[in-house]
Amino acid sequence: MGDEPVARSRAAFTREAPGPADARSGWVETSLGPVRVEWRGDTLTRVDLALEPGDAMAAGRPFAPRAIADRLAAAVDGGDSEPGPVDLTLLTPFQQDVLRAVAAIPRGEVRPYGWVAAMAGRPRAARAVGRAVAANPVPLVIPCHRVTRSSGEIGAYSGGGPGIKARILRHEGVDIEALAQLVRRGARFVGDPTAGTFCWPTCHQLGLVPPTRRILLPNWTSALQAGLKPCARCRPLPPDRGAD
């Protein structure tokens, strides 16, 4: 199970960028604000979040060509899609596997570091996953903002801090306040007794479940004791496989 998201997204990361002489940089205006990008050929090598109006013009940098701008627009406003060619060759194989797993997290959902570790084939390496996520050279394109602490708190964000992270998640439809309330109530999972399943709190499958039918679950054991099975879509994991 842990290799499936990585294998599914591996084709998006197979291209090494051309040489340094072909490196270019520019700005892209997105619905979140301006984003600085670097690329070689059609391969993205770096994304830096400015996200404040006027930053691009003040920097005096040229704007990126339409093909690059369209990829950033798709990352910010599009649905779930492959990120296209990005250059991760400066990262370790483990870091690359982590980012491939992160790329599989659906838009509008979040997953804890432990889940990403399990999907990358290293279920006991949640802390190392945090460092790998922080090394992501192309935020937004590879959505490291969708990775949270094991408690459910949204946590830090190397792309600009927790405020920027919350802003991006809200833009994608995540109810940050509802997540915070679940954290305060100690709920790790949300169950649907009618369907007999339980999910990560942001799983889109829960959108079909009336709030009155949902039950809050503090841990994996309580979900099993309630007679529930893990959702096949969002794949919650037991403590030794990424729930913690």
The string of pLDDT tens digits covering residues 45-101 is: 999 987 665 555 545 568 899 999 999 999 998 866 677 899 999 999 999 999 999
Provide the residue type at 160 as one letter.
G
- Report the pLDDT value the prediction gives residue 130, as an integer from 0 to 100: 93
Mean pLDDT of 99-124: 94
- Residues 6 or more apart in contact with residue 152 via CB below 8 angstroms: 112, 179, 182, 183, 187, 188, 201
Catalytically annotated residue among 144, 199, 203, 231: 144
Q: Quick check: is 144 catalytic? A: yes
- Report the pLDDT value the prediction gives residue 7, as an integer from 0 to 100: 43
State the Rg of the chain over Cα: 19
Full strand arrangement of the beta sheet holding 43-49:
23-30, 33-40, 43-49
Model confidence at 14, in pLDDT bands (50, 70, 90)?
A: very low
Q: Answer whether residue 142 shows pLDDT above 70.
A: yes
